[in-house]
């Protein structure tokens, strides 16, 4: 579904922050990208969404080369980013935030009772977890084939984080491919079909989510030891 080969990414005036990244996301699967702060996870998602131009490499979506495609055309092609930090429009209501993404809400909002209860509330008055749900709902209304989620559990209580991870399982079950970037490695690996560890801009380890959960080095570095 999404093939990333030899991708290198830098910001203006920096060396390559991500180097020679190769990832392959199969259809209807969840891929988790874990790694320490500053490893380049958000940078990778921004480049995939078309917000940064890679210095080398290729990205194929369903076999089609989208490496040079603009951000808004990527959304239309089915690649949607839910950025870090619950990027909702805080003065607008829940309803207005969702309308910006699409009027065809057929079935999607059934997954978000929390939002329909707060339909006319200003998005900024929602809890952190509710805002994250709103950001994800908005992403889903764009009907993605591949949903890129940047740190969806960041700053949430364990209970709310659990709800977000349950939602990610549902999204995958509905047939959407998910690329999940997370600090919460344990929970991310638990929902992931496949996963990779990014260290200083390069992949150091890949496997199934279960394999990485069982890996001693991964456990020591990212799961608080065991």
Closest approach of ligand ATP to the CB of residue 6, in Å: 18
CB of 178 to ligand ATP, least distance (A): 17
Q: How far is the CB of 195 from ligand ATP (least distance, A)?
A: 14
Question: Measured from the CB atom, is 35 or 139 closer to ligand ATP?
Answer: 35
Binding residues (CB under 6 A) for ligand ATP: these are: 11, 14, 17, 35, 37-43
Residue 68 Cβ vs ligand ATP, minimum distance, rounded to whole Å: 20
Q: Which is nearer to ligand ATP, 11 or 119 (CB)?
A: 11
Q: Which is nearer to ligand ATP, 37 or 120 (CB)?
A: 37
At a CB cut-off of 8 Å and minimum separation 6, what does 158 contact?
Answer: none
* For ligand ATP, the closer CB: 25 or 115: 25
- State how far the Cα of 221 lies from the Cα of 51, in Å rounded to an integer: 30
CB of 188 to ligand ATP, least distance (A): 12
* Cα–Cα distance for residue pair 192/29, rounded to 1 Å: 8
Residue 39 DSSP symbol: S
Q: Is 60 exposed, middle or buried, given 0-12, 13-18 or 19+ CB atoms closer than 10 A?
A: middle
- The nearer residue to ligand ATP, 97 or 132, going by C-beta atoms, is 132
Strand-pairing partners, residue 178, are 30, 147
Q: What is the DSSP string of 81-135?
A: EE-TT----TTSBHHHHHHHH-S--TTGGGG-HHHHHTTTSBGGGS-HHHHHHHH
């Amino acid at each position: 579904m999404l093939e990333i080969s030899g991708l290198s990414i830098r910001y203006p005036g920096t060396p390559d922050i991500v180097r020679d990244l190769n990832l392959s996301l199969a259809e209807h699967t969840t891929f988790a990208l874990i790694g320490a702060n500053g490893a380049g996870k958000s940078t990778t998602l921004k480049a995939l969404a078309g917000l940064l131009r890679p210095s080398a490499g290729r990205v194929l979506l369903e076999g089609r080369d989208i490496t040079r495609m603009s951000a808004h055309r990527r959304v239309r092609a089915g690649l949607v980013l839910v950025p870090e930090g619950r990027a909702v429009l805080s003065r607008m209501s829940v309803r207005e935030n969702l309308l910006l993404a699409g009027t065809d809400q057929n079935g999607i909002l059934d997954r978000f009772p929390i939002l329909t209860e707060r339909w006319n509330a200003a998005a900024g008055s929602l809890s952190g977890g509710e805002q994250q749900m709103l950001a994800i709902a908005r992403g889903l209304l764009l009907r993605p084939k591949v949903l890129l989620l940047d740190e969806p559990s960041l700053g949430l209580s364990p209970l709310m984080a659990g709800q977000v991870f349950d939602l990610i399982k549902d999204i995958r079950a509905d047939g959407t491919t998910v690329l999940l970037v997370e600090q919460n490695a344990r929970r991310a690996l638990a929902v992931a079909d496949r996963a990779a560890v990014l260290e200083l801009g390069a992949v150091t380890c890949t496997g199934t989510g279960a394999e990485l959960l069982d890996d001693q080095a991964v456990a020591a570095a990212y799961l608080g030891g065991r």
